[in-house]
Chains A and B, each alone.
Chain A
Amino acid sequence: MGASWVTDEMRAALGSELGRKVSFPVDESDIRRWVIATWYPAAPPRRYWDDDAIAAAGGLVAPDDFNPFAWMTVPPAGAEPDLGRGGYRGPEQSLGLEPPATTSIINGGRVATYREPMRARDVITSVNRLTDYFEREGRLGLMLFTLTTDTWTNQRGDTVKTEVTTFIRY
């Protein structure tokens, strides 16, 4: 490995859009399954399944960490559905660039800011951008930190969430 994993081509790509996804309308059962899985083995709170508690909350509100894009998103017109399988797809692949020749990858962390809550029947759009590269020398060699920023909006154009994700490659 040389002095850096980051090429001029990669540096020039900072700020580029990596992809956009549109969810199917958020389904009440998907919210319930989500909270069953994340509160397991305890029962999830009543506000997710009790009609009176849901009404008191003004409707069923998804937890902030809910992922409306799991399994399948709305395919672009004329395209086949992307079932999202195949693990991590680096930003370089999305942009048609040569990826760094790293061999391992780990999830470094997440930073999320929440605005408008997700509710049943909302349609969420995600726009993902390449935000930053930086490097640090680690126990396993030179580590490449790749930051991407995901911005979610609902069908009214309200911002739902902004999230920066860090993946570490080495």
Chain B
Amino acid sequence: MSATATVSVGTEVPEYVRTTDLANWNRYAAVNDEFVPIHMDDEAGRAAGFPSAFGMGNLLWAYLHNMLRDWIEAELDGDGRIVSMECSFRSPNLRGQTVAARGTVTRVREEAGQTFVDLDVAVVDHAAPDTVLAPGSATVALG
């Protein structure tokens, strides 16, 4: 079955779920050179008005990409690529929080012989999904 045949409006992308804390954030700081006190030190997080240190928006951005790449590999036979992604950062990713990157197909369209899949994407609090940390959208090209 082709990738196009398995995707339609309403298709849900499998969640990408991570419980986040300093183990995640320190690893990301190490590869992205992002050693910012608010992401490493509870005192700095509290001074910025939050209950603790909190995670990087850039790592949530990575989780959104990883969710789509895992989907492309597992369910579309690797037959696709991310062509665009956008998100805003609305709510902090606090220590110990389990977050889920999610995606739902909103449109499948053809342009110049290429199939594009538009999705609503978001990182949410897994236990309280109405708490949206990073809403956004993405487009995947098939084939």
Smallest distance from the beta carbon of B24 to chain A beta carbons, Å?
Answer: 6
Provide the bound-state CA to CA distance between A87 and B85, in Å. Answer: 24
A45 at the interface (CB under 8 A from B): yes
Return the chain B residue nearest A108 by Cβ: B88
B84 at the interface (CB under 8 A from A): yes
CB-CB < 8 A to B23: which residues of A? 40-41
Which secondary structure dominates where chain A touches chain B? mixed
Check B85–A112 contact: CB distance below 8 A: yes
**Residues on B facing A (Cβ under 8 Å):** 18, 23-24, 27-28, 30-34, 36, 57-59, 61-63, 65-66, 69-70, 73, 81-89, 136
Q: Quick one: which of B33, B63, B82, B85 contacts A38, CB cutoff 8 A?
A: B63
**What is the 8 Å Cβ interface bit string for chain A, positions 93-127, against chain B (1 contact, 0 not)?**
00000000000001111111110010000000000
Smallest distance from the beta carbon of A63 to chain B beta carbons, Å?
Answer: 6
Smallest distance from the beta carbon of A121 to chain B beta carbons, Å?
Answer: 18
A114 with B66, Cβ < 8 A, contacts A37-B28, A38-B59, A109-B89 known:
no
Q: Which 6 A-B pairs have the closest CB atoms?
A: A109-B88, A37-B27, A111-B86, A38-B62, A70-B33, A37-B31
A67 at the interface (CB under 8 A from B): yes
CB-CB < 8 A to A109: which residues of B? 86-89, 136
State the interface size on chain A (CB cutoff 8 A). Answer: 30
Provide the bound-state CA to CA distance between A59 and B24, in Å. Answer: 27
Provide the bound-state CA to CA distance between A36 and B30, in Å. Answer: 11
Provide the bound-state CA to CA distance between A45 and B67, in Å. Answer: 12
Check B87–A39 contact: CB distance below 8 A: no
CB-CB < 8 A to B59: which residues of A? 38
CB-CB < 8 A to B63: which residues of A? 38
Smallest distance from the beta carbon of B90 to chain A beta carbons, Å?
Answer: 9
Provide the bound-state CA to CA distance between A34 and B28, in Å. Answer: 7
Check B84–A112 contact: CB distance below 8 A: yes
Smallest distance from the beta carbon of B134 to chain A beta carbons, Å?
Answer: 8
Check B62–A65 contact: CB distance below 8 A: yes
Provide the bound-state CA to CA distance between A106 and B54, in Å. Answer: 13
CB-CB < 8 A to B86: which residues of A? 109-112
CB-CB < 8 A to B65: which residues of A? 38, 63-65
A70 with B87, Cβ < 8 A, contacts A38-B66, A39-B66, A41-B23 known:
no
**What is the 8 Å Cβ interface bit string for chain A, positions 56-89, against chain B (1 contact, 0 not)?**
0000000111010011000000000000100100
CB-CB < 8 A to A67: which residues of B? 31-32
Q: Quick one: which of B18, B82, B89 contacts A107, CB cutoff 8 A?
A: B89
CB-CB < 8 A to A37: which residues of B? 24, 27-28, 30-32
Return the chain B residue nearest A107 by Cβ: B57
